C-alpha cells in the first residue's frame, strides 16, 4: 500500500502479506503477476498510475467512511450536522468526488500505456503522425477552458440569484424594461381566452 | 443489393435525418445572429429558444448513429476519411460543443452582456458546424479522400466541390429553420414575428435555390463521378427537390406554414438523397466502393440488428418529442 517506484525499487510502501492474493486470486498463496512479468518497454509510467489509483481508492474510502460515521453517530443520538468541522468536510466532499473520478481516469488511461488496444495497437501507432497535432491539442484546451469559465460564471450567478429569492431566472434576451410580450405571456393569454 | 449496400443505405438514412432535423436546428442560429439589436431581436431570440430548447442536443443522435455505423461497418473508409479530413471534422466538433454549451449558458446568463456573448457563440457555431460537415461531404464526393487515408490535409476540403458542399449545407439549414420558425411563430399567435420571419424565409428560400443550382457548376467541373450520377440515376431526385422547393415558397407566401414544413423537408431530403444516389456505388468516390470498404460480414449483420433495435427503441420517443414540439400542445404550455 502506498510507496513509490524509484530506480526499480519500491520504497516507503506499507507491506501487507497475502491480502493481494486474496483479492486478486481468491487464494492465500497464489502469486499475483507483478510488473516484473511485463517487459520494460511495455510498462506504463508506474508511479503516476500507482498514485492515481491509490488516491482514487483513498478518497472513495474516505467518502464512504464519512457517510458511515454520520449515520452511526446519528443512530447514537448525535447529529453531526451541528458540527462545523463536519460541514466543512461535507462542502469539500463534492470536490473530492471529482478528484477521485479524475484519478480513476488517470489510472486507466495512463495505466494502459503504451497500448491503445492491449497487445494490438500501440498509442504511437494510433496517433495521427501530423506535427500540427499540437495545435489541435492547444485548440481543444482553449475551448474547454473557455467553457469551464462560462459554466462556472453561469452556475455561480444562478446560485446567487436563487439565494436572493429569485425563482424563475428569466433569460435576458432584451433590456429588462422591454414592453413587447414574450412567447410565454402571449400563449398563456391565448389559452385563458 | 448486398448486405453492405443495405447497411450503407441505413447509414445514409441517418445522414438524411441529420440534415433535416439537425439542419432545422442549426439554421436557427442564422436568425438568432441576424435578429438585430437586443431590443429588436429579443422576441425572435425568445422564440428560437422556445422552439429548439426541447430538442436541444437530441438531433446529434443522428451524427453519432452515422459515425458508429461508418466506423464499425466500413472501418477502413472511416479511417481514411478521419485521417484526411480531421481539420474540418475537428472544427465541426468544436462548433457542436460550443453551440450546445453556449445555448444552455445563454438561457441562464445573469446579465444582458453575458447573454450577448453566449448568444453570439451559439449563433456563430450553429453555422460553422454545417459548413464544415458540408466540406467533408464535398471531399468524399469529389474523390479527394484516398482509400489508404492521410490525404491532403488542406486541399481535400478547400476545393470547389467542398466549398459548394459547405455553402449548400448552411443554406439548406437556414431554409429549413426559416420555415419551421415561421410555423412556430404563427402557431404561437405572434403575428408580427411570423410576418417578419415569412419575409426572410422567402428571401432565404430563393437564395438557397440559387445556391443549389449554382453549386451544380463547380460540381460539374470538379466532381465528374457525381456529375454523371446527378444527370443519371439521381436526376428524378433533383427534379423533386426543385418542385418541392418551389412549392414551399408558394406555401410560405400564401401563409400555409404547417404544410410548408413537409415540402421544405422533402426538398432538402431530396437534395441530400441526390448526393447519395449520385455517387452510388462509391463510398469514397473514385477510391472505395461500398463493397470494397465493407467490414466483416458478421459485423454488418450485427449492425442491421442494432439498427432495427434502435428503430424500435429510439424512433417512437423521438417521434413523440417532435409531435409535442411541433403541435399546439407545446406552444400553449
Around Cβ B52, how many Cβ atoms within 10 Å? 26
Residues of B in contact with A186 (CB under 8 A): 188-190
**Min Cα separation B111/chain A (Å):** 6
Using CB atoms within 10 Å of the CB of residue A87, give its burial: 0 to 12 exposed, 13 to 18 middle, 19+ buried. exposed
Least confident of A32-36, A112-116, B272-276, B295-299: A32-36
- Choose among B41, B90, B105: nearest Cβ to A150: B105
- Asked if A178's CB is within 8 angstroms of B49's CB, the reply is no
Cα separation of the two ends of chain A: 72
Residues B253, B262: Cα–Cα separation, whole Å = 15
| Chain A nearest-CA residue for B109 | A154
Nearest to A118 by CA among A185, A38, A36: A38
pLDDT value at residue B168: 93
For residue B198, what is its C-alpha cell? Answer: 415569412
Helix (H, G, I), strand (E, B) or coil at A181: coil
Nearest to B12 by CA among B257, B318, B276: B276
The A residues from 114 to 133 touching B (CB cutoff 8 Å) are: 128-130, 132
pLDDT value at residue A166: 76
Cα torsion through A38, A42, A44, A46, rounded to 10: 40
Proportion of chain B above pLDDT 70, given as a percent:
98
DSSP type of residue B19: I
From residue B4, alpha-carbon distances to B246, B293, B308 in Å are 36, 9, 15
- Choose among B97, B110, B189: nearest Cβ to A186: B189
Summarised one tens digit per residue, pLDDT across range A1-52 is 777 777 777 777 777 777 777 777 777 777 777 777 888 888 888 888 888 9
Residues B47, B45: Cα–Cα separation, whole Å = 5
Rg of chain A over Cα atoms, rounded to whole angstroms, equals 26
Question: Does residue B21 have a cis peptide bond before it, meaning omega lies within 30 degrees of 0?
Answer: no
Given CB atoms, is A2 within the 8 Å cutoff of chain B? no
pLDDT value at residue B199: 92
- Asked if B107's CB is within 8 angstroms of A171's CB, the reply is yes
Residues B24, B52: Cα–Cα separation, whole Å = 9
Contact B292, B148 (CB under 8 A): no
Burial A55-80 (b: 16+ CB within 10 A, else e): bbebbbeebeeeeeebeeeeeeeeeb
Residues B132, B122: Cα–Cα separation, whole Å = 16
**Min Cα separation A121/chain B (Å):** 14
DSSP type of residue A36: G
- Asked if B188's CB is within 8 angstroms of A183's CB, the reply is yes
pLDDT value at residue B328: 63
| 3-state DSSP helix/strand/coil % of chain B, to nearest 5 | 80, 0, 15
Q: What are phi and psi of A57, to 5 degrees?
A: -65, -40
Residues A50, A52: Cα–Cα separation, whole Å = 6
For residue B273, what is its C-alpha cell? Answer: 438523397
Question: Does residue A114 have a cis peptide bond before it, meaning omega lies within 30 degrees of 0?
Answer: yes
DSSP type of residue B282: E
Residue with cell 434576451: A173
Nearest to B182 by CA among B167, B198, B159: B198
Around Cβ B120, how many Cβ atoms within 10 Å? 15
Summarised one tens digit per residue, pLDDT across range B135-147 is 999 999 998 999 8
| Chain A nearest-CA residue for B331 | A187
Across the 193 residues of chain A, what is the mean pLDDT of every consecutive 10-residue run?
A: 75 76 76 78 84 91 92 86 87 91 92 87 84 85 92 89 77 53 42 35
Summarised one tens digit per residue, pLDDT across range B2-45 is 899 999 999 999 999 999 988 888 998 898 888 887 777 888 88
Summarised one tens digit per residue, pLDDT across range B40-86 is 788 888 888 888 877 767 788 889 999 999 999 999 999 999 999 98
pLDDT value at residue A83: 83
**How many Cα atoms within 13 Å fall on the side-chain side of residue B68?**
13
Amino acid at each position: 500500500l502506498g510507496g513509490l517506484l524509484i530506480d526499480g525499487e519500491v520504497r516507503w510502501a506499507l507491506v501487507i502479506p497475502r491480502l493481494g492474493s486474496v483479492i486478486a486470486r481468491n487464494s492465500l498463496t497464489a502469486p499475483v503477476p507483478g510488473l516484473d512479468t511485463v517487459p520494460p518497454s511495455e510498462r506504463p509510467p508506474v508511479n503516476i498510475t500507482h498514485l492515481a489509483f491509490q488516491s482514487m481508492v483513498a478518497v472513495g474510502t474516505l467518502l464512504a467512511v464519512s457517510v458511515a460515521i454520520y449515520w452511526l453517530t446519528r443512530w447514537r443520538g448525535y447529529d453531526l450536522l451541528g458540527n462545523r468541522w463536519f460541514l466543512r468536510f461535507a462542502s469539500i466532499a463534492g470536490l473530492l468526488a471529482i478528484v477521485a473520478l479524475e484519478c480513476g481516469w488517470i489510472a486507466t488511461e495512463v495505466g494502459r500505456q503504451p497500448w491503445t488496444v492491449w497487445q494490438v495497437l500501440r498509442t504511437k501507432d494510433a496517433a495521427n503522425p501530423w506535427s500540427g497535432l499540437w495545435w489541435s491539442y492547444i485548440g481543444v484546451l482553449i475551448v474547454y477552458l473557455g467553457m469551464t469559465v462560462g459554466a462556472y460564471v453561469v452556475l455561480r450567478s444562478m446560485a446567487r440569484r436563487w439565494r436572493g429569492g429569485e425563482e424563475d431566472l428569466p433569460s435576458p434576451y432584451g433590456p429588462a424594461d422591454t414592453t413587447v410580450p414574450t412567447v410565454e405571456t402571449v400563449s398563456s393569454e391565448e389559452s385563458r381566452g | 443489393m448486398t448486405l453492405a449496400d443495405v447497411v450503407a443505405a441505413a447509414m445514409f438514412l441517418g445522414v438524411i435525418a441529420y440534415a433535416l432535423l439537425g439542419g432545422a436546428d442549426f439554421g436557427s442560429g442564422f436568425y438568432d445572429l441576424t435578429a438585430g439589436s437586443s431590443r429588436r431581436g429579443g422576441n425572435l431570440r425568445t422564440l428560437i429558444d422556445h422552439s429548439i430548447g426541447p430538442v436541444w442536443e437530441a438531433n446529434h443522435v443522428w451524427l453519432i448513429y452515422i459515425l458508429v455505423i461508418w466506423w464499425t461497418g466500413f472501418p477502413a473508409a472511416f479511417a481514411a476519411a478521419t485521417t484526411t479530413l480531421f481539420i474540418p471534422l475537428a472544427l465541426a466538433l468544436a462548433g457542436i460543443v460550443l453551440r450546445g454549451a453556449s445555448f444552455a449558458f445563454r438561457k441562464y446568463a445573469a446579465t444582458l452582456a453575458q447573454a450577448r456573448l453566449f448568444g453570439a457563440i451559439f449563433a456563430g457555431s450553429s453555422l460553422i458546424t454545417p459548413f464544415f460537415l458540408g466540406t467533408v461531404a464535398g471531399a468524399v464526393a469529389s474523390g479527394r479522400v484516398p482509400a489508404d487515408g492521410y490525404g491532403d490535409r488542406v486541399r481535400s476540403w478547400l476545393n470547389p466541390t467542398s466549398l459548394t458542399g459547405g455553402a449548400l449545407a448552411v443554406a439548406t439549414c437556414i431554409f429549413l429553420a426559416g420555415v419551421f420558425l415561421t410555423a412556430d411563430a404563427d402557431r404561437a399567435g405572434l403575428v408580427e414575428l411570423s410576418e417578419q420571419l415569412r419575409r426572410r424565409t422567402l428571401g432565404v428560400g430563393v437564395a438557397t435555390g440559387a445556391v443549389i443550382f449554382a453549386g451544380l457548376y463547380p460540381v460539374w467541373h470538379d466532381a465528374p463521378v457525381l456529375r454523371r450520377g446527378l444527370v443519371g440515376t439521381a436526376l428524378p431526385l433533383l427534379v423533386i427537390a426543385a418542385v418541392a422547393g418551389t412549392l414551399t415558397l408558394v406555401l410560405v407566401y400564401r401563409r400555409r406554414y404547417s404544410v410548408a414544413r413537409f415540402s421544405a423537408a422533402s426538398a432538402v431530403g431530396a437534395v441530400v438523397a441526390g448526393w447519395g444516389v449520385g455517387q452510388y456505388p462509391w463510398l469514397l468516390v473514385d477510391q472505395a466502393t461500398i463493397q470494397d470498404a465493407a467490414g466483416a460480414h458478421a459485423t454488418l449483420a450485427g449492425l442491421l440488428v442494432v439498427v432495427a433495435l434502435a428503430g424500435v427503441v429510439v424512433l417512437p420517443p423521438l417521434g413523440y418529442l417532435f409531435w409535442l414540439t411541433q403541435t399546439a400542445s407545446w406552444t400553449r404550455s
